[in-house]
Amino acid sequence: MTTSTTKTTAPAAEQRGIVPLPAPFARLLVAVGAVATIASTFLAWTWDSEFPGDLTVTGYPAGLQTLALVAGALTLLYALAGYGIRGLGWLNPGGGNNPVLLAAVSAFAVVWYTAIAISYDLGGLANLEPGAVVAAVASLLPVVGALALPRPGRSLRDHIAKPDGIPAAAPLPSWAQRLIISLATALGLVVFTYGIGVNDDESETFIGLLLLVLFGSMALFAAGLFERFTELNARHKGFATTAVFLAAVIFPFTQSEDHNANLGANILIFGTVALGLNIVVGLTGLLDLGYVAFLGVGAYAAALVSGSEFSRFSGVQVPFWAAALIGMGASLVFGVIIGAPTLRLRGDYLAIVTLGFGEIFRITVNNLDGASGPNLTNGPNGISQIPDLEIFGFNLGAAHDIAGRTIGRFGNYLFLMLLITALIVLVFNRAANSRIGRSWIAIREDETAATAMGINGFRVKLIAFALGASLAGLAGTVFAHVNYSVVPSPFQFAGAAPPNSAFLLAAVVLGGMGTVSGPLLGASLLYLIPEKLSFLKEYELFGFGVALILLMRFRPEGIVANRRSQLEFHETGQLDVPEQGLPDTTVGVTKAEA
């Protein structure tokens, strides 16, 4: 019997930092700069109150100063953790210096962006108060100090990567683990509430929040905290899911404007549609460029039977559950009709056919106006004045007082979409972990090998296509009522605003293919960013392209990645074939001997 050995890769030796400074002095520079950055947020940064956030007051931070304060505090914590202060070691379980640099960059980016924005918006550097100059210099010091700290390499990836072999976390009682999950969920709710509450005319504040979240998240990732939090979520998956659901329920009660609840409802609508597309693209590996058409089929089917006076069947008004079943059924039928003749194609050919189907749907509903074709969809005018839903006597179009807070129309639809999202997540998880789900993954990895193993590739792909279409149709029924009307213009491959197929596909790819939270996170970012940064709406596709290029370069598995994708896209240091044979318990000899 031979003895198997495992080849291990020794970690790369740490190199000196880019800036030639002694490490103790560099850490001191980071700490001093972080403290100075925090102190500068209590000074006035400009004398003109026209800049969003009113940064003219001395004594307390406001607007972008608050974000700079948070970034400075994060930098200070990582600087102190580097000194080995008791109680702060959990912040950096990996022990590397990359979190210090990334936290310092977050403060630097927020402060310097604010200074540039003040100068640009108000017309020159003369609009900067001494507090802004102090903040700019102070935020530069931690970056210089962090660049002087040693790290394994000099490349950009070496500066943002987390170290290998992060030690396991100390055992914690179950209640403490659940408390950590609850606190992290609460933090996510605070960040989302702050971001969605930024007014449309305060794009500078929203950009500052994006910079803080981007570099702050990278610092937490480089420290290894995301890895440990993922382990906690996997250990308490049911509790974590419940915590996220409760946070979403609490969200409408934190808003004073129903418009923000409208944003939340639409994010959930497009997030659930992206989850349906994730079955097709993420699990099965089929590139569908016309998926938004299934959302349109469900929306039109529900609009036709919901009592609108502009509907071809204006005298028909069915309950919501019936309208939902009709929308799902119509999308399911169209999914089978389109999928049956086309799913025997692969790769680019399938993508072209699905793109053609999406355009055919939009053109068809645009021509069913009684002049170019039968009068069914009212052509480009669409079906308008769709009445609000009434479920068990509860009118979703009216405001209601719940727990002392007034929940408006969009808040009601947000609660409805939460229930539908929970249903779709349940269907996705059950399907992905079932026998058919494993068949989808096998088809995605290698269709030829899967077919050789006895999997009926065509039938499996058709089931994925039909299930994804029906989930999009379910979301389409709510989409029709939330927007009061259904028109053909949004249902195209790429448009000025979602929904469109490019938006949905980008949400899946950016968020993380094959995961549940990835498409929801991707849809939230891609819907909220153009909404808050109105000047980017003309460059939406350009922004999608830049984001995809950066993500494919630095994190090809998406923001939220499953274990399979991480192993596929990143080197793990493990050998594909061991140097010596492993014992085969079935035949009693080693594989090398066999």
Torsion of CA 50, 52, 55, 59, to 10 degrees: 120
In a domain? residue 509? yes
In a domain? residue 112? yes
From 529, 555, 589, the end of a domain falls on 529
pLDDT tens, residue by residue, 49-91: 888 888 888 888 988 999 999 999 999 999 888 777 777 778 8
In a domain? residue 555? no
pLDDT of residue 553: 78
Same-domain status, 343 and 409: yes
* 505 contacts: CB under 8 Å, gap ≥ 6: 277, 281, 288, 289, 291
pLDDT of residue 534: 75
Same-domain status, 229 and 334: no
Which has the higher per-residue pLDDT, 394 or 537?
Answer: 394
Same-domain status, 353 and 478: yes
Q: Is the pLDDT of residue 232 over 60?
A: yes
Task: Count Cβ neighbours within 10 Å for each residue of 46-82 and write b for 16 or more, e otherwise.
Answer: beeeebbbebbeeeebebbbbbbbbbbbbbbbbbbbb
Least confident of 84-88, 227-231, 578-582: 578-582
Same-domain status, 223 and 307: no
In a domain? residue 583? no
From 219, 235, 251, the end of a domain falls on 235
Same-domain status, 203 and 287: no
In a domain? residue 262? no
Summarize the confidence of residues 96-105 as an average pLDDT. 89
Same-domain status, 193 and 300: no
Same-domain status, 174 and 290: no
* 76 contacts: CB under 8 Å, gap ≥ 6: 31, 34, 35, 38
Band of pLDDT at residue 577, cut at 50, 70 and 90 = very low
Same-domain status, 291 and 222: no
- Look up the pTM and report it: 0.83
What letter does residue 13 receive in the DSSP assignment? P
Same-domain status, 195 and 290: no
In a domain? residue 442? yes
Same-domain status, 87 and 195: yes
pLDDT tens, residue by residue, 270-324: 999 999 999 998 888 888 888 889 999 999 999 998 888 888 887 788 888 898 9
pLDDT of residue 592: 39
Which residue, 267, 275, 290, 197, is CA-closest to 523? 267
Number of separate domains in the chain: 2
Beta bridge partners of 46: 128
pLDDT of residue 579: 42
Same-domain status, 207 and 279: no
In a domain? residue 544? no
d(CA 40, CA 150): 29
Instruction: Judge whether 560 and 517 are in contact, CB under 8 Å.
Output: yes
Q: How many residues does the chain have?
A: 594
Domain encompassing residue 84: 23-235
How many percent of the chain have pLDDT more than 70? 89
Q: Is the pLDDT of residue 509 over 70?
A: yes
In a domain? residue 283? yes
Instruction: Judge whether 500 and 292 are in contact, CB under 8 Å.
Output: yes
Band of pLDDT at residue 432, cut at 50, 70 and 90 = confident
Which residue, 191, 189, 177, is CA-closest to 239? 177
Least confident of 13-22, 243-252, 253-262, 341-350: 13-22
Same-domain status, 69 and 141: yes
Assign 368 to helix, strand or coil.
coil
From 235, 254, 283, the end of a domain falls on 235
Helices (H), ranges, 279-390 = 292-304, 320-342, 347-367
